[in-house]
Amino acid sequence: MTGPIRPSRPRQAEQPVRQQSLRSINLELVFRQILGATHPISRTELAAVTGLTRPTITRIVDDLLTGRLVTETGFAHDGRAGRPRVGLTISDRGPAGLGLDIRADGLAAGVVDLTGTVRHLAFAPATYADRGAPTVLADLARMAEAAVAAVAAEDLAVVTATLAVPGPVDAGLVRSAPALGWRDADAGTLLRAATRHLDLPITVDNEANLAALGELYATHRSLDSFVYVSGGLGIGAGIVLDGQLMRGSRGWSGELGHVTVYPDGKPCPCGSRGCLQTYASLEAILGAEPAPPGSTPDAEIAARADAGRPDTLAALDAAGTALGVALSDMLNILDIGSVLLGGSFSLLASWLTANVRTEIDQRVLTTDWAPVTVRPALLGPDAAVIGAALTSVDQVRQQPAGWLLRQPGRSGPARSRQPAKRSG
Ligand SMILES: [Zn+2]
């Protein structure tokens, strides 16, 4: 058998798929216009800016209203002559994203709605060092449940969750979180099992990366290149360059805590010597006297520093110097002009910043022409949980058609159902 190979009857077989995908593309186009509009936008304006016909816009807007992705805001003039038109805006009562964070000083849960507004933020102080993953995640599951219930009372439905963990993540596995005593911990599966009845898709990601995304959002992208340094359970960095998070080829970038500061220095649990973490972790700053029960490590350090304890002030000086040395290498390589001190470091910034700046000024080649700014992160210790919740809700914002398809009792944007039925 020779001759060209032709698929048999390709058009009929592919048509429903293509129609479905075209409808999804148009729905996403319309949704993005409403998302990006600085004022409530009318159906007439949507038709004008997208080039879609008025009946298509009407169908798509009906789907978006049914899925509670957008809402009508009442009548608004759109700047033209004639009668006022119904304005459309992003809904603050529909799908929402959940963020969960395991911190040095406890567990946090937060919910962000589609407009990007934080609607729920809860924190439970506890010490989780050397607690097993099942225990920590069972506690976190209870906080997730409470968060979902709290926002349900405000007519919000949590549809997806992101867990922030202090270590490199590989397909849901936390490869290494020494401060928690975790290695190859299947945090995604454990949390999914513990929250089974909530039926949420769960993503696991590195906390410094999520915190950097939170800061990027909080600064309204006015700062588009920065290193976010997260101090807490270990030290991590989220690197944002030209508005994009640099994850690295395997998603493991930013392990700042294991940058060598003093080659012959103190041994680190990672097997190396003189890592930043051995000088600037909360544990290192606390020294031989851990935080007493009922106090968190960062609050305890701040209290000792406020009281003028010489050992604590000296440890903070050493931590700031080590942090500045490690960051200088990073800044020389990456050409980034801003450092945000986040996590527990945002609470300790007043004691760390001067030494960080001194080292950077001395070691980064280009500071004579372009000084590097060092300041506390805007979201403070909540950056990771808010970044996680934003990342969750962003999945809906990026793929509104996919979200509508997953809604119970729906097979997608309303008019797409017919071709699907016909072919099946
Ligand atoms: Zn190390």
280 CA to centre of own chain? 24
Among 402, 418, 419, which residue's Cα sits nearest to residue 159?
Answer: 402
pTM of the model: 0.85
- If residue 35 lies in a helix (H) or strand (E), which one and from where to where? helix 10-36
Residue-by-residue pLDDT tens, the chain, 424 positions: 334 333 334 344 445 556 668 889 999 999 999 999 988 999 999 999 999 999 999 999 999 999 999 999 976 655 555 667 899 999 999 999 999 999 877 899 999 999 999 999 999 987 766 678 888 999 999 999 999 999 999 999 999 999 999 888 988 888 888 778 888 999 999 999 999 999 999 999 999 999 999 999 888 778 889 999 999 778 999 999 999 999 988 888 999 999 999 999 999 988 899 999 999 999 999 999 988 888 888 999 999 999 999 999 999 999 999 999 999 999 999 999 999 999 999 999 999 999 999 999 999 999 999 999 999 999 988 999 999 999 999 999 999 998 888 765 544 444 333 333 333 2
Q: How remote is the CA of residue 274 from the centroid of ligand 1, in Å?
A: 7
Q: How remote is the CA of residue 264 from the centroid of ligand 1, in Å?
A: 12
Q: How remote is the CA of residue 269 from the centroid of ligand 1, in Å?
A: 6
Q: How remote is the CA of residue 178 from the centroid of ligand 1, in Å?
A: 9
Q: Give first-to-last CA distance, the chain, whole Å.
A: 32
Cross-strand bridge partners of residue 88 = 41, 72
Q: How remote is the CA of residue 236 from the centroid of ligand 1, in Å?
A: 12
> Phi and psi dihedrals of 237, rounded to 5?
-130, 140
The tally of CA atoms less than 13 A away on the side-chain side of residue 267 is 2
Q: How remote is the CA of residue 352 from the centroid of ligand 1, in Å?
A: 21
